[in-house]
Structure 1
Amino acid sequence: MIETARLLLRWPEPQDFAARAATFADRETMALFGPGQDEDGVRADLARHASYHPQGLGFWSVLERESGAWVGFCGLKPGAPDTPIEREIEVGWLIARSRWGRGYATEAARAALDHAWRAFDARRAVAIVARPNAPSHAVAIRLGMQRLPALDFLHPKIDPTDPLAAMNVYAIDRPA
């Protein structure tokens, strides 16, 4: 478990499922991130991320420390295969719409990056942000990440005609 001033990050637990599924079903949220998922898709996503746990990777559930409420998820994973980031450590985040505007994505992602520097020898970490997702571009910039336009790509799991398929790549180097 990772603690920040306002958040707890821990591996997903069964009681997180309903909130996670509701977030993936929320049209306004997913309008910034890509195709939503039904409950079977959420289960598959959780299983995929659990497969990263032996490597110390995966997305944590993000909870408010004070209330214990589920806020979203954030964490580290291997870069997507067959993309320019496939050999990188990727940091990612998704916050429930009811918790937007509170700085939770930045706080959680900063904690994930701090964990990456302690746990792995990676020289940098990357993030991918759908081109239309202005709030997540702002998070990446607040984290101190720099755009790497030469690595931008179309996400292989999103219809290439969908504007959300166009991924902008950001990176941050390991602190000295």
Structure 2
Amino acid sequence: MIRTERLILRPPVAGDRPALYAMWGDPLGMADLGGAKDKAACAATLARHAGYAPLGFGVVERCADGRVVGHVGLKPGAPDTPIVGLLEIGWIVARPFWGSGYAREAAQGWLDWAWANRAEPAVYAITARRNVASRRLMERLGMRHVPAMDFLHPAHSDDPDLADSVTYRIDRP
């Protein structure tokens, strides 16, 4: 568990499912992340992310009221991407909480944890080129775009705009 000024970053529990499923089922919130997920796809996402527990990928809970506002953390870079096996950070915050700074606060919490607890020289992030909000967050975190690692994401081969992906990197301080 990580505590930031306003957030608790922790593994998900069964009671988090309604909030997470609502977030992942939101077509607008998921537009740049592959589209809304049905209940089965949400359950599969939770199961996949449970395997990342040693790296730390989990729920973002607001300290003030215990509400789940997102899912942020570290994981191994996915196969068929230029960051396969490298340390990746990813995030999603539910749409009602956009603009609150929660994604940045949670991502920074995980980056601080990574520098203190992991040996990797860098952390990477990928997103669709069109995902301007995530790209801005990457830059605010101090990440830099690595154009040589941009790619067409095979998971989105049916949507060329979504498949057009960018890679960012932040080096150990």
- Name the SS for the 2:139 alignment partner: helix
1:134 to 117, 132, 135: 132
User: Cα offset for 1:115?
Assistant: 1.1
How many pairs were matched up? 173
Deviations 1:94-117 (A, max 9, x none): 000000001111100001111111
Matched to 2:92, the amino acid is: L
Q: What's the counterpart of residue 27 of structure 2? A: 27
Deviations 1:52-102 (A, max 9, x none): 22xx12421001111111100100000011221002100000000000001
Q: What's the counterpart of residue 161 of structure 1? A: 159
Q: Which runs of 4+ in 1 moved over 2 A?
A: 159-162
Deviations 1:101-137 (A, max 9, x none): 0111110000111111112100000001211111111
1:110 pairs with 2:108: yes
User: Cα offset for 1:162?
Assistant: 3.6
Q: What's the counterpart of residue 171 of structure 1? A: 169
Output the CA distance in 2 between the equivalents of 1:28 and 1:9: 24
RMSD: 1.1
Runs (5+) with no aligned partner, structure 1:
none
Output the CA distance in 2 between the equivalents of 1:83 and 1:161: 16
Question: For the Cα contact (< 8 Å) 2:88–2:123, is it kept in 1?
Answer: yes
Q: What's the counterpart of residue 84 of structure 2? A: 86
Q: What's the counterpart of residue 69 of structure 1? A: 67
Task: Give me the TM-score of the superposition, normalised by structure 1.
Answer: 0.94
Question: For the Cα contact (< 8 Å) 1:127–1:140, is it kept in 2?
Answer: yes
Question: For the Cα contact (< 8 Å) 2:86–2:123, is it kept in 1?
Answer: yes
- Name the SS for the 1:31 alignment partner: coil
Output the CA distance in 2 between the equivalents of 1:152 and 1:160: 18
Select between 121-130 and 44-53 the one with higher mean Cα deviation: 44-53
Question: For the Cα contact (< 8 Å) 1:90–1:127, is it kept in 2?
Answer: yes
2:123 to 102, 122, 125: 125
- Name the SS for the 2:66 alignment partner: coil
Output the CA distance in 2 between the equivalents of 1:35 and 1:140: 21
User: Cα offset for 1:156?
Assistant: 2.0
Runs (5+) with no aligned partner, structure 2:
none
Q: Matched residues, percent identical?
A: 47
Question: For the Cα contact (< 8 Å) 2:52–2:74, is it kept in 1?
Answer: no
Select between 29-38 and 117-126 the one with higher mean Cα deviation: 29-38
Question: For the Cα contact (< 8 Å) 1:154–1:160, is it kept in 2?
Answer: no
Question: For the Cα contact (< 8 Å) 2:32–2:130, is it kept in 1?
Answer: yes
